[in-house]
Protein backbone atom coordinates (compact mmCIF):
# COMPACT_ATOMS: atom_id res chain seq x y z
CA UNK A 1 0.00 0.00 0.00
CA UNK A 2 1.23 3.48 -0.82
CA UNK A 3 1.65 5.82 2.13
CA UNK A 4 -0.20 9.13 2.03
CA UNK A 5 3.02 11.18 1.89
CA UNK A 6 4.32 9.08 -1.00
CA UNK A 7 1.17 9.83 -2.97
CA UNK A 8 1.35 13.52 -2.15
CA UNK A 9 4.96 13.80 -3.33
CA UNK A 10 3.95 12.09 -6.59
CA UNK A 11 1.04 14.45 -7.26
CA UNK A 12 2.92 17.70 -6.66
CA UNK A 13 5.32 16.84 -9.48
CA UNK A 14 2.53 17.75 -11.89
CA UNK A 15 2.05 21.48 -12.39
CA UNK A 16 -1.72 22.00 -12.25
CA UNK A 17 -1.80 25.75 -11.70
CA UNK A 18 -5.14 27.11 -12.90
CA UNK A 19 -5.50 30.19 -15.10
CA UNK A 20 -8.37 32.66 -14.57
CA UNK A 21 -7.77 34.27 -17.96
CA UNK A 22 -7.86 31.17 -20.19
CA UNK A 23 -11.61 30.89 -20.77
CA UNK A 24 -11.19 27.12 -21.09
CA UNK A 25 -12.58 24.24 -19.01
CA UNK A 26 -10.40 23.10 -17.41
CA UNK A 27 -8.45 26.33 -17.50
CA UNK A 28 -5.13 24.50 -18.02
CA UNK A 29 -4.59 21.25 -19.92
CA UNK A 30 -2.09 19.99 -17.33
CA UNK A 31 -5.02 19.32 -14.99
CA UNK A 32 -6.01 16.50 -17.36
CA UNK A 33 -2.64 14.86 -16.72
CA UNK A 34 -3.34 14.61 -13.01
CA UNK A 35 -7.01 13.72 -13.60
CA UNK A 36 -6.09 10.72 -15.75
CA UNK A 37 -3.38 9.62 -13.30
CA UNK A 38 -5.89 9.72 -10.43
CA UNK A 39 -8.53 7.87 -12.44
CA UNK A 40 -6.07 5.07 -13.19
CA UNK A 41 -5.08 4.88 -9.54
CA UNK A 42 -8.70 4.68 -8.39
CA UNK A 43 -9.31 1.82 -10.81
CA UNK A 44 -6.17 0.01 -9.65
CA UNK A 45 -7.24 0.08 -6.01
CA UNK A 46 -10.68 -1.30 -6.85
CA UNK A 47 -13.15 1.56 -7.24
CA UNK A 48 -15.80 1.30 -9.95
CA UNK A 49 -17.59 3.68 -12.33
CA UNK A 50 -14.39 5.72 -12.64
CA UNK A 51 -14.84 8.58 -15.10
CA UNK A 52 -13.01 11.69 -16.27
CA UNK A 53 -15.34 14.25 -17.83
CA UNK A 54 -14.42 16.50 -20.74
CA UNK A 55 -13.91 19.28 -18.18
CA UNK A 56 -11.52 17.03 -16.16
CA UNK A 57 -13.82 16.11 -13.27
CA UNK A 58 -12.84 12.74 -11.81
CA UNK A 59 -15.58 10.66 -10.17
CA UNK A 60 -15.58 7.12 -8.76
CA UNK A 61 -17.55 4.81 -6.47
CA UNK A 62 -16.58 2.40 -3.73
CA UNK A 63 -19.50 -0.07 -3.47
CA UNK A 64 -21.11 -0.77 -0.13
CA UNK A 65 -20.10 -3.91 1.74
CA UNK A 66 -23.13 -3.95 4.05
CA UNK A 67 -26.67 -5.15 3.38
CA UNK A 68 -28.55 -2.33 5.08
CA UNK A 69 -29.47 0.98 3.45
CA UNK A 70 -27.37 3.85 4.79
CA UNK A 71 -26.60 7.37 3.50
CA UNK A 72 -24.18 7.70 0.61
CA UNK A 73 -21.23 9.86 1.69
CA UNK A 74 -18.80 11.61 -0.64
CA UNK A 75 -15.26 12.96 -0.32
CA UNK A 76 -14.02 15.75 -2.59
CA UNK A 77 -10.70 17.55 -3.21
CA UNK A 78 -9.45 19.83 -5.97
CA UNK A 79 -6.59 19.22 -8.37
CA UNK A 80 -5.48 22.73 -9.28
CA UNK A 81 -3.07 24.99 -7.45
CA UNK A 82 -3.31 28.75 -7.00
CA UNK A 83 -2.57 31.04 -9.96
CA UNK A 84 -1.03 33.50 -7.49
CA UNK A 85 2.33 31.72 -7.19
CA UNK A 86 4.29 29.40 -9.42
CA UNK A 87 3.85 25.64 -9.10
CA UNK A 88 6.36 24.68 -11.80
CA UNK A 89 9.20 22.33 -10.84
CA UNK A 90 8.27 21.97 -7.18
CA UNK A 91 11.29 20.75 -5.26
CA UNK A 92 10.03 19.63 -1.83
CA UNK A 93 12.21 19.38 1.24
CA UNK A 94 11.52 16.74 3.88
CA UNK A 95 12.45 17.62 7.44
CA UNK A 96 12.37 14.59 9.74
CA UNK A 97 11.95 15.21 13.49
CA UNK A 98 11.64 18.98 13.10
CA UNK A 99 13.50 20.70 15.96
CA UNK A 100 11.53 23.95 16.20
CA UNK A 101 14.19 26.23 14.65
CA UNK A 102 13.90 28.59 11.70
CA UNK A 103 13.71 26.62 8.46
CA UNK A 104 16.16 27.48 5.70
CA UNK A 105 14.18 26.93 2.53
CA UNK A 106 16.83 28.08 0.10
CA UNK A 107 20.33 28.80 1.32
CA UNK A 108 21.55 30.10 -2.04
CA UNK A 109 18.75 32.68 -2.23
CA UNK A 110 18.68 33.34 1.53
CA UNK A 111 15.01 32.36 1.85
CA UNK A 112 14.16 31.47 5.44
CA UNK A 113 10.88 30.65 7.21
CA UNK A 114 11.44 32.21 10.66
CA UNK A 115 9.59 30.90 13.70
CA UNK A 116 9.22 34.52 14.88
CA UNK A 117 6.91 35.20 11.93
CA UNK A 118 5.43 31.72 11.48
CA UNK A 119 4.68 30.80 15.07
CA UNK A 120 2.52 27.85 14.00
CA UNK A 121 5.78 25.97 13.40
CA UNK A 122 6.07 25.48 17.16
CA UNK A 123 3.13 23.03 16.94
CA UNK A 124 5.14 20.63 14.79
CA UNK A 125 8.26 19.95 16.85
CA UNK A 126 9.19 16.28 16.48
CA UNK A 127 7.07 15.78 13.37
CA UNK A 128 8.04 15.27 9.73
CA UNK A 129 7.46 18.38 7.64
CA UNK A 130 7.36 18.78 3.88
CA UNK A 131 8.28 22.30 2.75
CA UNK A 132 9.12 24.07 -0.48
CA UNK A 133 12.60 25.10 -1.60
CA UNK A 134 11.45 28.72 -1.38
CA UNK A 135 10.91 29.22 -5.12
CA UNK A 136 7.44 27.68 -5.58
CA UNK A 137 4.34 26.89 -3.61
CA UNK A 138 4.00 23.30 -2.36
CA UNK A 139 0.59 22.21 -3.61
CA UNK A 140 -0.76 20.91 -0.30
CA UNK A 141 -3.80 22.97 -1.28
CA UNK A 142 -5.23 20.61 -2.29
CA UNK A 143 -3.13 17.66 -3.39
CA UNK A 144 -2.86 16.68 0.25
CA UNK A 145 -6.64 16.22 0.26
CA UNK A 146 -6.46 14.04 -2.84
CA UNK A 147 -3.72 11.87 -1.33
CA UNK A 148 -5.69 11.47 1.89
CA UNK A 149 -8.91 10.46 0.15
CA UNK A 150 -7.27 7.91 -2.14
CA UNK A 151 -5.23 6.45 0.71
CA UNK A 152 -8.38 6.02 2.78
CA UNK A 153 -10.17 4.34 -0.14
CA UNK A 154 -7.26 1.95 -0.60
CA UNK A 155 -7.36 1.00 3.08
CA UNK A 156 -11.08 0.24 2.77
CA UNK A 157 -10.53 -1.98 -0.26
CA UNK A 158 -7.71 -3.85 1.49
CA UNK A 159 -9.70 -4.29 4.71
CA UNK A 160 -13.19 -5.55 3.86
CA UNK A 161 -13.79 -6.16 7.57
CA UNK A 162 -14.31 -2.38 7.88
CA UNK A 163 -18.01 -1.95 7.20
CA UNK A 164 -19.01 0.92 4.96
CA UNK A 165 -21.82 2.03 2.77
CA UNK A 166 -21.49 3.28 -0.78
CA UNK A 167 -18.83 5.98 -0.97
CA UNK A 168 -18.39 8.55 -3.72
CA UNK A 169 -15.11 10.25 -4.58
CA UNK A 170 -14.58 13.33 -6.78
CA UNK A 171 -11.61 15.47 -7.75
CA UNK A 172 -12.36 18.83 -9.32
CA UNK A 173 -10.42 21.30 -11.51
CA UNK A 174 -10.19 25.08 -11.18
CA UNK A 175 -11.34 25.50 -7.57
CA UNK A 176 -8.70 28.18 -7.04
CA UNK A 177 -10.28 30.41 -9.68
CA UNK A 178 -13.83 29.90 -8.39
CA UNK A 179 -14.90 27.48 -11.14
CA UNK A 180 -14.54 24.17 -9.32
CA UNK A 181 -18.28 23.51 -9.21
CA UNK A 182 -19.17 24.94 -12.63
CA UNK A 183 -19.52 21.54 -14.31
CA UNK A 184 -19.92 19.32 -11.26
CA UNK A 185 -22.74 16.84 -11.94
CA UNK A 186 -24.37 16.49 -8.50
CA UNK A 187 -26.94 13.98 -9.75
CA UNK A 188 -24.29 11.76 -11.30
CA UNK A 189 -22.15 11.99 -8.16
CA UNK A 190 -25.05 10.55 -6.23
CA UNK A 191 -24.05 11.33 -2.64
CA UNK A 192 -26.48 12.38 0.06
CA UNK A 193 -23.83 14.63 1.55
CA UNK A 194 -20.08 15.05 1.23
CA UNK A 195 -16.95 16.54 2.76
CA UNK A 196 -14.23 18.53 1.08
CA UNK A 197 -10.72 17.80 2.34
CA UNK A 198 -9.49 21.33 1.76
CA UNK A 199 -8.86 22.83 5.18
CA UNK A 200 -5.61 23.75 6.84
CA UNK A 201 -4.25 22.67 10.23
CA UNK A 202 -5.09 19.51 12.16
CA UNK A 203 -8.62 19.49 13.55
CA UNK A 204 -10.15 22.24 11.46
CA UNK A 205 -13.83 21.70 10.67
CA UNK A 206 -15.63 24.40 8.73
CA UNK A 207 -19.20 24.90 7.62
CA UNK A 208 -19.28 28.68 7.23
CA UNK A 209 -17.46 30.64 4.57
CA UNK A 210 -17.33 34.04 2.93
CA UNK A 211 -19.94 35.30 0.53
CA UNK A 212 -17.77 36.16 -2.45
CA UNK A 213 -17.80 38.33 -5.53
CA UNK A 214 -15.31 39.58 -8.08
CA UNK A 215 -15.30 43.16 -9.29
CA UNK A 216 -13.68 44.89 -12.24
CA UNK A 217 -13.45 48.69 -12.12
CA UNK A 218 -12.69 50.30 -15.47
CA UNK A 219 -11.78 53.99 -15.59
CA UNK A 220 -11.71 55.83 -18.91
CA UNK A 221 -9.51 58.86 -19.21
CA UNK A 222 -8.70 61.45 -21.85
CA UNK A 223 -5.16 61.98 -23.03
CA UNK A 224 -4.08 65.47 -24.09
CA UNK A 225 -0.62 66.94 -24.51
CA UNK A 226 0.37 67.82 -20.91
CA UNK A 227 1.43 71.29 -21.92
CA UNK A 228 -2.11 72.08 -23.07
CA UNK A 229 -4.09 69.79 -20.76
CA UNK A 230 -5.83 72.27 -18.49
CA UNK A 231 -9.57 71.51 -18.26
CA UNK A 232 -9.16 68.88 -20.98
CA UNK A 233 -7.09 65.96 -19.70
CA UNK A 234 -8.66 63.30 -17.47
CA UNK A 235 -5.98 61.05 -16.02
CA UNK A 236 -7.67 57.69 -15.46
CA UNK A 237 -4.99 56.62 -12.97
CA UNK A 238 -5.78 59.56 -10.70
CA UNK A 239 -9.51 58.84 -10.86
CA UNK A 240 -8.75 55.21 -10.03
CA UNK A 241 -6.67 56.36 -7.08
CA UNK A 242 -9.59 58.41 -5.81
CA UNK A 243 -11.83 55.34 -6.15
CA UNK A 244 -9.42 53.45 -3.90
CA UNK A 245 -9.34 56.22 -1.30
CA UNK A 246 -13.14 56.12 -1.07
CA UNK A 247 -13.07 52.48 0.07
CA UNK A 248 -12.61 51.84 3.83
CA UNK A 249 -8.83 51.76 4.31
CA UNK A 250 -8.94 49.25 7.18
CA UNK A 251 -11.22 46.76 5.40
CA UNK A 252 -8.49 44.96 3.50
CA UNK A 253 -7.13 41.42 3.99
CA UNK A 254 -4.01 42.46 5.88
CA UNK A 255 -6.07 44.35 8.48
CA UNK A 256 -8.98 41.94 9.03
CA UNK A 257 -9.56 38.57 10.70
CA UNK A 258 -12.30 36.25 11.93
CA UNK A 259 -15.69 37.28 10.58
CA UNK A 260 -14.48 40.65 9.26
CA UNK A 261 -14.98 41.17 5.55
CA UNK A 262 -12.84 43.10 3.10
CA UNK A 263 -12.19 44.59 -0.33
CA UNK A 264 -9.03 43.16 -1.90
CA UNK A 265 -7.36 44.87 -4.84
CA UNK A 266 -5.77 41.97 -6.74
CA UNK A 267 -4.41 43.77 -9.79
CA UNK A 268 -4.15 47.21 -11.35
CA UNK A 269 -2.90 48.38 -14.73
CA UNK A 270 -3.26 51.78 -16.25
CA UNK A 271 -2.34 54.71 -18.39
CA UNK A 272 -3.79 58.19 -18.79
CA UNK A 273 -6.41 56.81 -21.17
CA UNK A 274 -7.52 53.72 -19.26
CA UNK A 275 -7.03 52.06 -15.88
CA UNK A 276 -8.41 48.67 -14.88
CA UNK A 277 -8.57 47.47 -11.27
CA UNK A 278 -9.61 43.97 -10.25
CA UNK A 279 -11.01 43.24 -6.79
CA UNK A 280 -12.44 40.45 -4.77
CA UNK A 281 -15.18 41.27 -2.24
CA UNK A 282 -15.69 39.08 0.83
CA UNK A 283 -18.01 39.01 3.85
CA UNK A 284 -19.55 36.25 5.98
CA UNK A 285 -22.70 38.29 6.60
CA UNK A 286 -24.94 38.36 3.52
CA UNK A 287 -26.37 41.81 4.27
CA UNK A 288 -22.92 43.32 4.77
CA UNK A 289 -21.79 41.56 1.59
CA UNK A 290 -24.57 43.27 -0.37
CA UNK A 291 -23.67 46.63 1.21
CA UNK A 292 -20.07 46.21 0.05
CA UNK A 293 -21.25 45.82 -3.52
CA UNK A 294 -23.58 48.80 -3.14
CA UNK A 295 -20.69 50.93 -1.88
CA UNK A 296 -18.67 50.25 -5.03
CA UNK A 297 -21.61 51.25 -7.21
CA UNK A 298 -22.18 54.39 -5.10
CA UNK A 299 -18.53 55.41 -5.55
CA UNK A 300 -18.87 54.81 -9.29
CA UNK A 301 -21.90 57.09 -9.46
CA UNK A 302 -20.19 59.84 -7.49
CA UNK A 303 -17.06 59.76 -9.63
CA UNK A 304 -19.16 59.79 -12.78
CA UNK A 305 -20.89 62.94 -11.56
CA UNK A 306 -17.46 64.52 -11.12
CA UNK A 307 -15.81 63.21 -14.29
CA UNK A 308 -18.53 62.39 -16.80
CA UNK A 309 -21.15 59.66 -16.90
CA UNK A 310 -18.98 57.14 -18.74
CA UNK A 311 -15.78 57.74 -16.80
CA UNK A 312 -16.07 54.81 -14.37
CA UNK A 313 -17.68 51.41 -14.83
CA UNK A 314 -18.03 48.75 -12.13
CA UNK A 315 -18.83 45.16 -13.06
CA UNK A 316 -19.51 42.79 -10.14
CA UNK A 317 -20.12 39.05 -10.37
CA UNK A 318 -21.10 36.89 -7.42
CA UNK A 319 -18.91 33.79 -7.04
CA UNK A 320 -20.33 31.83 -4.11
CA UNK A 321 -22.29 32.24 -0.89
CA UNK A 322 -21.96 31.23 2.75
CA UNK A 323 -22.76 27.51 3.00
CA UNK A 324 -24.06 27.94 6.57
CA UNK A 325 -27.60 28.47 5.27
CA UNK A 326 -27.57 25.05 3.58
CA UNK A 327 -25.66 23.15 6.29
CA UNK A 328 -27.74 24.19 9.31
CA UNK A 329 -30.78 22.06 8.29
CA UNK A 330 -28.51 18.97 8.11
CA UNK A 331 -26.19 19.86 10.95
CA UNK A 332 -25.82 16.17 11.82
CA UNK A 333 -23.20 15.85 9.08
CA UNK A 334 -21.01 18.32 10.96
CA UNK A 335 -21.61 16.36 14.14
CA UNK A 336 -20.52 13.16 12.40
CA UNK A 337 -17.22 14.76 11.37
CA UNK A 338 -16.65 16.25 14.82
CA UNK A 339 -17.28 12.89 16.48
CA UNK A 340 -14.96 11.18 13.99
CA UNK A 341 -12.19 13.60 14.92
CA UNK A 342 -12.67 12.94 18.61
CA UNK A 343 -12.53 9.20 17.88
CA UNK A 344 -9.06 9.91 16.47
CA UNK A 345 -7.97 11.90 19.52
CA UNK A 346 -8.40 15.25 17.77
CA UNK A 347 -10.36 18.11 19.29
CA UNK A 348 -12.32 19.76 16.46
CA UNK A 349 -11.51 23.39 15.72
CA UNK A 350 -14.78 24.68 14.35
CA UNK A 351 -14.34 28.00 12.60
CA UNK A 352 -15.47 30.00 9.61
CA UNK A 353 -13.45 29.81 6.41
CA UNK A 354 -11.84 33.09 5.41
CA UNK A 355 -12.22 31.97 1.84
CA UNK A 356 -14.31 29.41 0.03
CA UNK A 357 -14.30 25.81 -1.11
CA UNK A 358 -16.04 23.81 -3.80
CA UNK A 359 -18.29 22.72 -0.96
CA UNK A 360 -19.74 26.21 -0.59
CA UNK A 361 -21.17 26.17 -4.09
CA UNK A 362 -22.02 22.47 -4.02
CA UNK A 363 -24.09 23.06 -0.89
CA UNK A 364 -26.24 25.48 -2.91
CA UNK A 365 -26.42 22.91 -5.72
CA UNK A 366 -28.05 20.36 -3.42
CA UNK A 367 -24.99 18.60 -2.00
CA UNK A 368 -24.36 19.71 1.61
CA UNK A 369 -20.61 19.76 1.95
CA UNK A 370 -18.66 20.91 5.05
CA UNK A 371 -14.87 21.21 4.94
CA UNK A 372 -12.29 19.15 6.85
CA UNK A 373 -8.60 19.78 7.47
CA UNK A 374 -6.02 18.37 5.08
CA UNK A 375 -3.06 19.46 7.21
CA UNK A 376 -1.25 22.13 5.22
CA UNK A 377 -0.49 25.70 6.22
CA UNK A 378 0.56 28.98 4.56
CA UNK A 379 -1.12 28.10 1.27
CA UNK A 380 -0.50 29.94 -2.02
CA UNK A 381 3.13 30.86 -1.49
CA UNK A 382 6.73 29.87 -0.85
CA UNK A 383 6.16 29.30 2.89
CA UNK A 384 3.57 26.57 2.41
CA UNK A 385 4.26 23.38 4.37
CA UNK A 386 2.51 20.27 5.61
CA UNK A 387 2.99 17.74 8.41
CA UNK A 388 3.06 14.08 7.39
CA UNK A 389 1.46 13.21 10.73
CA UNK A 390 -1.43 15.60 10.00
CA UNK A 391 -2.00 13.92 6.64
CA UNK A 392 -2.07 10.53 8.31
CA UNK A 393 -4.60 11.84 10.84
CA UNK A 394 -6.79 13.12 8.00
CA UNK A 395 -6.86 9.59 6.56
CA UNK A 396 -7.92 8.27 9.98
CA UNK A 397 -10.73 10.85 10.17
CA UNK A 398 -12.08 9.82 6.75
CA UNK A 399 -12.20 6.20 7.90
CA UNK A 400 -13.95 7.15 11.14
CA UNK A 401 -16.53 9.22 9.24
CA UNK A 402 -17.26 6.16 7.11
CA UNK A 403 -17.72 4.04 10.23
CA UNK A 404 -19.97 6.61 11.90
CA UNK A 405 -22.15 6.90 8.79
CA UNK A 406 -22.70 3.11 8.96
CA UNK A 407 -23.78 3.47 12.58
CA UNK A 408 -25.95 6.53 11.90
Q: Give the mean pLDDT of 137-165.
A: 97
Whether residue 26 has a cis bond before it, omega within 30° of 0: yes
175 is catalytic: yes
Per-residue pLDDT of 155-196, as tens digits, reads 999 999 999 999 999 999 999 998 999 999 999 999 999 999
pLDDT of amino acid 355? 83
Instruction: Name the pLDDT band for 280 (thresholds 50, 70, 90).
Output: very high
Q: Give the mean pLDDT of 275-294.
A: 97
Share of the chain above pLDDT 70, in %: 100
pLDDT of amino acid 218? 98
pLDDT of amino acid 102? 97
Name the active-site residue from 175, 198, 358, 384: 175
Round the average pLDDT of the chain to a whole number and report it. 96
Per-residue pLDDT of 52-100, as tens digits, reads 999 999 999 999 999 999 999 999 999 999 999 999 999 999 999 999 9
Domain boundaries, the chain: 4-209+322-407, 211-320
Q: Give the mean pLDDT of 307-325.
A: 93
pLDDT of amino acid 309? 80
pLDDT of amino acid 318? 93
Per-residue pLDDT of 329-383, as tens digits, reads 999 999 999 999 999 999 999 989 888 888 999 999 999 999 999 999 999 999 9
Q: Give the mean pLDDT of 267-287.
A: 97
CB atoms within 10 A of CB 233: 15
Number of C-alpha atoms within 13 angstroms, CB side, residue 179?
22
Name the active-site residue from 15, 80, 133, 208: 80
Share of the chain above pLDDT 90, in %: 95
89 is catalytic: no
pLDDT of amino acid 2? 83
CB atoms within 10 A of CB 21: 8
pLDDT of amino acid 63? 98
60 forms beta bridges with: 169
Superfamily name and number for 4-209+322-407: Zn peptidases (3.40.630.10)
Q: Nearest Cα to 41, choosing from 174, 147, 144? A: 147
pLDDT of amino acid 357? 82
Instruction: Name the pLDDT band for 308 (thresholds 50, 70, 90).
Output: confident
Q: Is the pLDDT of residue 247 over 90?
A: yes
Q: In CATH, what is the architecture of 211-320?
A: 2-Layer Sandwich (3.30)
Amino acid sequence: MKQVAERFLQYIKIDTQSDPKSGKHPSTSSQFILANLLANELQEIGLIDVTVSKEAYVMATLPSNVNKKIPVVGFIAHMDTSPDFTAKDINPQIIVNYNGDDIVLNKAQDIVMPVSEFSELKNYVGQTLITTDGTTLLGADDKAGIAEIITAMEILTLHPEIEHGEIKVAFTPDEEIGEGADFFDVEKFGADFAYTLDGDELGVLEYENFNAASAVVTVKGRSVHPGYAKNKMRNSMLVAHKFLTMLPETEIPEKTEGFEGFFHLTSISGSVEKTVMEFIIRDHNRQLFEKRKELMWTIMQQLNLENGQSAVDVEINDQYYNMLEKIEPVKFIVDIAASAMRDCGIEPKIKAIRGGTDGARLSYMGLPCPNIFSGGQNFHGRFEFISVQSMEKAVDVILKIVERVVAF
